Chain A
Amino acid sequence: MDVKSAMTRARRGLREERRLYVVAVSSLAVAFLCLGATLLGVTNLDAAADRWGQSGRITLFLKDDADPQDVAQLRVVLEGLSDVREVAHVTPEQAKASFLEEADVGADLSALPKEVFPASLEVSLVNGVTRERSESIATRLGQFRAVSDVESYGSWFQKLDHLLWGARMLAAGLALLVMFCVIAVIGNTIRLAVARRRQEIQVMKLCGATNGFVRGPFVLEGMFQGFASALLAVLALLAGYLSLHESVDSTLAALTGSRVVFLGVWTWLLLLTGGALIGAIGSALSVRRYLSV
């Protein structure tokens, strides 16, 4: 097939059928936008999980009446462990101060008594410690006399994992749905375009055009529609991200300590190429059915 001629004719087709194609592209862009938004959610959950998983942490809450000597001994033990990177002692005053600074909840919380915030040892683990390992360290540390409570964030991770799994499934389901949408919508649009160009198709065939020659432009037009819809969705998502992320960032930072991120390069590249590919498939299926020679 002569690709250059097919592209010239596809350009002409896009110009002539632009009204038909604008409708198809805008409705598909909405579908892609839903998928893109879900993917954005997955990306952010992933980023948060990654951040938390990477910087393994254990918080040892100390008893109010803990013997300072016991605490000192505990610190020595902790600093001796190869998995531990750093140990910081947080006094109730510090805990309250940092809470008030981070949580921008609106209500005045400075009246809270400092007893609400127990003293703790913030244990930062070295990178690459598995969750099971940090879990077992936490259990052992819990047996120390000065420790009232241990938080290894295990259940939190489990919840996050569940959430992530759910979001991934949702994204996969949506991707499948969008794929069918694209194939159906573009297939139908191309079917209409084929019907409207029946006369010129007939002329080309009488002049000795091969199937490939006649079908080429239609496949390119479908490909373009898929690509344009995906591009439109990614651009809309980017615009939304750029205009909203600053206001969202500060609250999210307070709650989870992470910032909003945009879709990764590979994700949006995949959206664009996937859109083009599925568009091409949709129109190829359509011309195979409706453009018999």
Chain B
Amino acid sequence: MQGTKVVRPFPFFRAGARASQPQLAKPILVLEDVYKFFRPDEPTLRGVNLKVERGEFAFITGPSGAGKSTLLKLLYRELMVDEGRVLFCGRDIGRLTDKSIPFLRRNLGIVFQDFRIIDHWTVFENIAVALEILSMPQRLIRSRVAEALERVGLNGRGDEQTSNLSGGEKQRVAVARAIVPEPALILADEPTGNLDPHLAIDILTLFEEINSTGTTVLFATHDHSLISKRDHRLISIDEGRVVEARQGLKDWPGSGIHTLVG
């Protein structure tokens, strides 16, 4: 369906295209002075500057309504920046045509608080969909899905009906769907928001394991018990601006956790 005559500004985001050496040398994500307005007088994001290197694990935090989800939406082009630039592997994704957006998203794995699992599909079908989109042969899909299921700890449960799974298991399926195409960057928007604290740690650990294989992870959460347990980079959004800490809360520039949650 994708005609070859379509002129795409960034051939990197074409199906099957691989990043070139100079692209790989660039930071995976750079935000330059990004503004996002929902109301003309009051920007949700005002002048956000951010650089994420390949292989990093970073929490994105901030009070409810701060713009965490908005920031992530800008990255997978659900929303467009109003000012500034978002560079993914050095490419300005604000300038992508509609036809190129799917090819940008094939480089991303996205996980949500509400799982977004199709209940009347089996576990296998829910994960395989990410590979069917890439027109991968069924044989390969089967082995890759089996592998992903093993990584999220659902070994051999592909044939189960998703509606019967617990919340934690559903989120594992969602994570498997996100990682199965081996994306460069994982965007998780409050992936533990619907899970009890114990399960939350499990899921966080799962993302850390994925990160240890070289995948960059951005993990949005406002759960401080989770953040305080780890020393990851902390990106906090408050009143539209970013405040950062390299080494988790102990490195936090403000006067403690209260400046963080507001």
Q: Which residues of A contact B (CB under 8 A)?
A: 1-2, 5, 9, 16, 199-200, 202-213, 216, 293
Contact = CB atoms under 8 A, between A and B. Distances in A.
B103 interface: yes
Interface of A is mostly: helix
B177 A207 contact: yes
Interface string B55-94: 0000000000000000000001000000000000000000
A1 B135 CA distance: 9
A203 B111 CA distance: 10
A204 B129 contact: yes
A210 B177 CA distance: 17
Q: Which 4 A-B pairs have the closest CB atoms?
A: A212-B1, A208-B106, A208-B105, A1-B1
11 contacts: A5-B132, A200-B121, A204-B133, A206-B76, A206-B105, A207-B177, A208-B102, A208-B105, A210-B1, A213-B133, A216-B1
Contact of A207 (B2, B98, B133): B133
A207 B105 contact: yes
Interface string B232-254: 00000000000000000000000
A209 B116 contact: no
B217 interface: no
B110 interface: yes
B178 to A, nearest CB: 9
B37 to A, nearest CB: 23
B24 interface: no
Contact of B98 (A199, A202, A206, A293): A293
B135 A210 contact: no
Given A208-B102, A293-B98, A203 B116 contact: yes
Contacts of A203: 116, 118, 129, 177
B118 A199 contact: yes
Contacts of B51: none
Contact of B135 (A2, A16, A202, A205): A2
Contacts of B129: 200, 203-204, 207
Interface in B202-259: none
Nearest to B132: A5
A1 B105 CA distance: 17
A213 B110 CA distance: 19
A206 B133 contact: no
Given A206-B76, A207-B133, A213-B102, 9 more contacts: A1-B1, A200-B121, A204-B129, A204-B133, A206-B105, A207-B181, A208-B103, A210-B2, A212-B1
